[in-house]
Amino acid sequence: MRKVLKLGFFGPPGAGKGTQADRLASYLDCPHISTGDMFRALKTSSTELAGQVQEIIGSGRLVPDELVTEMTLARLAQHDCSSGFILDGFPRTLVQAIALQDSSKALDALIEIRLGRDEIIQRLSGRRVCTKCHAVYHVRDLANGFESACTICGGMLMQRDDDLPEAVATRLDVFEYNIAPLIKFFKDRELLLSIDGYGDPDEVFKRLLKGLEQIRT
């Protein structure tokens, strides 16, 4: 199988995108780069770009597409990305997608992890988080259901507000609205690889590897 080196990942909340991106990065021996990690790294950076982004975030404004793109391309230009990368969380807008594909770091494929709304709502609404150590559980895996304590530290488990079914449905609406232009952009260029996200992580990963075999060199 040709090891596609420049890949993007996206999927709805709860689809297991991060898990699959981590596994694929290990399989391909390349870095898994998320925009969240990049933004966190900027907090301790003293570059001019970092200063601009920090000022915008501090004021409560959204970081413009141009700066997010500049930040991402700067990260992809680092030495550890010379043999490829798994990009997670970028692009998020059509403007970002066009800029990325017009650069030297254009993706070989954008991988979409697909999962139905009902399954996503079930996954996220059943999630419980420890109030002490922040370990994550699901009610279907807890021996005593909702009353179970954290098996790591004994802390109380709680459901986050954004995991309530109504909140999850709203998050999905926003995601689907924003992501539709990206899907069309990469699909029109035959660069979209859609993977069924149902089943356990091992099953999904097998589908992912099979899908990568179909990408033309």
Query: Active site residue: 17, 23, 75, 123, which one?
Result: 17
Active-site annotation holds for 216? no
Backbone phi, then psi, for 158, in 5-degree steps? -135, 160
Q: Which residue has the tokens 């597409």?
A: 65
Active-site annotation holds for 160? yes
How large is the average pLDDT for residues 98-111?
95
Domains belonging to the chain, first-starting first, are 6-115+173-213 (3.40.50.300)
Active-site annotation holds for 132? no
Query: Active site residue: 6, 23, 75, 171, which one?
Result: 171
pLDDT at residue number 146: 54
Query: Active site residue: 43, 114, 117, 160, which one?
Result: 160
Residue 162: CB atoms within 10 Å: 12
Query: Of 40-49, 188-197, 202-211, where does mean pLDDT reach its minimum?
Result: 40-49
Q: Which of 49-58, 91-100, 163-172 has the highest mean pLDDT?
A: 91-100
Please list, residue by residue across 87-117, b when 16 or more beta carbons sit within 10 angstroms of its beta carbon and e when fewer do: bbbbbbbeebbebbbeeebebbbbbbbebee
- This prediction has a pTM of 0.79
What confidence tens digit (pLDDT) does each residue in 142-200 have?
766 556 788 889 899 999 888 898 998 998 888 888 889 999 999 999 999 999 999 88
Which pLDDT band, with edges at 50, 70 and 90, does 140 fall under? Answer: confident
